[in-house]
Structures are given as structure tokens and as C-alpha cells.
Structure 1
Amino acid sequence: MSRKLKAVVVDDEANAVDFITSIIAEYCPDLEVVGKAYNVSQGVATIQETRPDLIFLDVEMPAGSGFDLLEEFPDKKFDVIFITAFNHYAIKAIKFSAVDYILKPINITEFLEAVSKVIQKRSDSKYETGESIKVLLENLKSGTPSRLAIPTSDGMEYLNPKEIIRIEADRSYSWLYLAGNRKILVSKHLKEFQELLSDRYFFRSHNSHLINLKFVRKFIRKEGGYIEMQDGEQIPISRNRKDLFLIHMSRFKG
């Protein structure tokens, strides 16, 4: 890296700010802390003054949230690593948008992994700084996230989950089969997609398959049972999942 990335730390807990600053000083030679802030208004002023490349941002603070802070910057020329509690309501939206985050209490290994991911992304000439943050804020406003960030070999693609017909496991990867006869190979386990899409219209029919109920054409009982999708594919269904599948379909409104 030709120059150090400028970092700002925003957290209402002084101990957390000091801890993050000390980790960066000891383990992150590619980063330089150029500002610290302890609430939203201080954070906005510090970011405007220092113009950082990376912000370590607490989600929940007095008199505003980290998301409120981000709304003050229409043109987001920085990356963000969120700092949040495990059970925070925004965790799923953060994951949905492929924004990096660290859970409290902060684990040094996880912290360094998050920093490494940001540095790696910024080294890609096709990477669009701030795009995932924009998607996150859109998803939070909508209540039900409508854009799913998918890392691809070319960068990041943002999909509406309604476009996904089915997802098939391929060892540590997953194939996303999309409307329009497209498919994408993603470096994510099927379980990760199941967790993200579990409160929608997706169903895990088999150890290797997650299907969109909107695209189910019919259920065939013969030969052990299978599901025929609207794209013509026949998807196996585990014996112990059949009854649950039929219950889901009977309740499904499309």
C-alpha cells in the first residue's frame, strides 16, 4: 500500500475508543488514527475535518446512532466497520448489505480480519467505496431489506431476493440461480444464505438446496418426492422436510 489509510474511531465508550486505537497502533501498520469522537455530532465534525478512508463506528450511541451519522454524508467516500452488540436489531441488515462489523466485546483476531477485508477490497480498482453503506441505509429505511449484496469475482452485485429462484450448495461455495436464466457462483456457505433469508419466502428443502417458494411449480410425491421449479429444475426434498414444506406452501400467499 502506497500510503496509510486514515481512520476515525467513533464510540461513546472511551475505553472502546482507546482499545481500538491501541490495536491499530500495534497491529495495523497500514492504518493511522487521525481522529476520535464520542457521539454523533462530534463524529460528523471529525469526519468532515479529517476526511478519513475508514471509520470504526459504534451503532448505538446517546443522542443518535451510527446510521444517523452516515446520513449526514450523501457522498460517502469512506468505508465503515461497525461496532455493535450481538443481538442488535440491525445485524441482519448489516449482513444483508455486506458491510463489515465487529461484535462487542471486541476480539482482536476478528478486528484484524475486518480490517484486512477492507484493505483487500480497496485494492481492487473496480471497488466502489461507500456503495454497500448506501445499500445498508436503504435496507434499514425499507424495514424489509430489498437489496442483497453478493460478492462476485468482478466486485459486488446487489440483487433483489425476489430474483433468486434457488440456491445450491457446492462445497464451501453456493450457486445462485436467478430469473432470466442467470447464475452466480458465490464464496458463501448455503447456511449463510439460509440465515439471511429465513424470514422471507425461502425454504431449505435439502442439505444442498434452498428454494424460493415463489418459483415452485409443483410437488411430486413419486420416487421419494421432489419439487419442480418454474425453471424446470427438479429439486430433491429430504424425507423429514416434506410435511414442513407442504405446511409452508399451504400458508404461502405468493
Structure 2
Amino acid sequence: MLKAILIDDEPNCLKMLEWELKNSCSNVEILDLCDSGKAGLKAIRQHKPNIVFLDVDMPYMNGFEMLELLEDIDFEVIFTTAYDEYAVKAFKINAIDYLLKPIDEDELVAAVQKAVTKIDMQQLPRNTMVEQPIQNIIRKIALPTFEGLVFAEVDKIIYCQSDNNYTKIFLKGDKDLFISKTLKEMEEVLGNYHFFRVHNSFVVNLNEIKHYIKADGGYLVMSNEGKVRVSRNKKDALLQLFQTPSRSKLL
């Protein structure tokens, strides 16, 4: 059973979320309803929830500011907001999900299931856990395009290419995206996953590398046949990620 606290400064939204959880998520026990960040802080410290549904845009103290005041975030966070502009920041702090109001019932159920999966994995004995970052359970990230946000599956990103203050995202089975984030920002977002910066202009999905070619200074051939340059000072670090005696002779 998940023990939840709901935090939102809009009473109608708070009551609606409470109703949706009671009707669609029987595995969620609601411990408290809070109408401000201050009240949320007090409730979190008192009740010790394992999941918090948190509005972002609240007066006096927004959702992110409230989290910063906590000594330890030992619970999962699902953001609930009417605005999509905070999504990238939400995923940077490893939020389980980011739900836009009015909240879709199916999306709410899916977000709760993500939380259940993550919490269950954390409770497994260490010797039975798959050795990978817990963050990898969250398989989507928010990509800000000129039309709005695209929620892309991390595993479908083949590589990212810098274009000044923008980044081009190459995706499997979908059109490429041009997003309003720098490559450095994307490197930070993808840092919890299987990505590596091989050049000032490229961050690659390690699972999508097909070949390393020595010619022309060294470059990678990716799964979409795209060619990605590898900096000399990055080659050894890249090699170590795939280290075997036979491979070390090839590169």
C-alpha cells in the first residue's frame, strides 16, 4: 500500500485528485491533503509518506522550493500541474511522473504503477537487484520543442547533436527533434541512463553503437547509420565502458 500526501493550493484540484485516486488506485492510502507548500512540509515530516503528489505553481512556496527545504527526499514525487514548462526540471530531480491538469485517469494509474515498481525494487535484497540505476525505471524524458513538450522514450534516443544553444535528437522509428536545450543540459538529463558524451558536439546512446572506425580521426557508426565523431580525449573513456581484452586491441 502506498501512503500518499496530496499538495495543491487549488481546493477543487485537490479534491478531484483525491476522488480519482480513491476510485482508480485502491493501492493508495491518502494520509493528508495540504493546500500549501508550508502545510506540505509539515505533513511530510509528520506522516513519512512514500509518495507525494505535488503541484508546482503555488504562492509563497512552489513545489520545487518546498522540496529544497527537506533534509532528505525519501519518497517518490509525482508532479501535478497545469503548466508544462517545468517538466524538464521535474525529470532532472528524478520525479516519477509529471501529470498535466486536468489529470487523465489512465496516466494517473500508470504513474502510480511506476511508483509501485520503483518502491518494490528498492525493497528487494541487494543481491537480488539488477545492477542498474533505479532511475532507469523512468523510461521517458520531456523534450521541449518549439511546438511544446514531447515525452520521448529514453531507449529510442540514438544520439544527440549540438547546434549552438539547441540540440538535435535522433530517434529510432520516429522523426528527429530539434529542441531548445543545449547539449550540456541534455547530457545532465541523460546522465542517469546509458549515454556518454564522446565529443563536444555529440552525446550517444551506448546501446545504439554499431562500429568504431579508426579512419578520419575516429568516429562511431550508430544504429541509424549516422556517423558521430569521437574526440581523442574521449576514446579511452569510451573504451573502458566496453572493456574486454579483445576490444582494447581493436580501438
* Matching residue within 24, 27, 51 for 1:27: 24
Determine if contact 2:94/2:135 at 8 Å carries over to the other structure.
no
- Secondary structure of the residue that 2:200 maps to in structure 1? helix
- 1:93 aligns with 89
Q: Give the Å deviation of 1:40.
A: 1.1
- Secondary structure of the residue that 2:54 maps to in structure 1? strand
Determine if contact 1:57/1:66 at 8 Å carries over to the other structure.
yes
* Matching residue within 32, 36, 40 for 1:39: 36
Equivalences, count: 172
TM-score (norm 2): 0.56
Q: Does 1:50 align with 2:47?
A: yes
Q: Which amino acid aligns with 1:95?
A: F
- 1:233 aligns with 220
- Secondary structure of the residue that 2:183 maps to in structure 1? coil
Q: Does 1:214 align with 2:214?
A: no
Determine if contact 1:9/1:33 at 8 Å carries over to the other structure.
yes
- 2:61 aligns with 64
Question: How far, CA to CA, are the matches of 2:114 and 2:90 in structure 1?
Answer: 15
* Matching residue within 72, 75, 83 for 1:75: 72
> How big is each residue's C-alpha offset from its partner over 1:42-72, in whole Å with a ceiling of 9 and x where there is no partner?
1111111211111000001011100111112
Output the aligned Cα RMSD.
4.0
Question: How far, CA to CA, are the matches of 1:153 and 1:113 in structure 2?
Answer: 24
* Matching residue within 154, 176, 180 for 2:132: 154
- 1:115 aligns with 112
- Secondary structure of the residue that 1:95 maps to in structure 2? helix
97 and 50 in structure 1: CA distance in 2 versus 1, 3 angstrom threshold: closer
Question: How far, CA to CA, are the matches of 1:36 and 1:25 in structure 2?
Answer: 13
Q: Give the Å deviation of 1:31.
A: 0.8
Determine if contact 1:58/1:83 at 8 Å carries over to the other structure.
yes
Q: Give the Å deviation of 1:173.
A: 3.5
Q: Which amino acid aligns with 1:92?
A: V
Q: Which amino acid aligns with 2:90?
A: I
- Secondary structure of the residue that 1:106 maps to in structure 2? coil
- 1:6 aligns with 3
Q: Which amino acid aligns with 1:16?
A: C
* Matching residue within 182, 187, 199 for 2:182: 199
73 and 96 in structure 1: CA distance in 2 versus 1, 3 angstrom threshold: closer
Question: How far, CA to CA, are the matches of 2:114 and 2:156 in structure 1?
Answer: 20
- 1:132 aligns with none
Q: Give the Å deviation of 1:38.
A: 0.5
Determine if contact 2:78/2:111 at 8 Å carries over to the other structure.
yes
Unpaired segments ≥5 residues, structure 1: 128-151, 159-170, 178-188, 203-210, 217-227, 239-254
> How big is each residue's C-alpha offset from its partner over 1:160-202, in whole Å with a ceiling of 9 and x where there is no partner?
xxxxxxxxxxx9944778xxxxxxxxxxx65699577853268
Determine if contact 2:56/2:64 at 8 Å carries over to the other structure.
yes
Determine if contact 1:5/1:30 at 8 Å carries over to the other structure.
yes
> How big is each residue's C-alpha offset from its partner over 1:92-123, in whole Å with a ceiling of 9 and x where there is no partner?
22234442111112111111111111111111
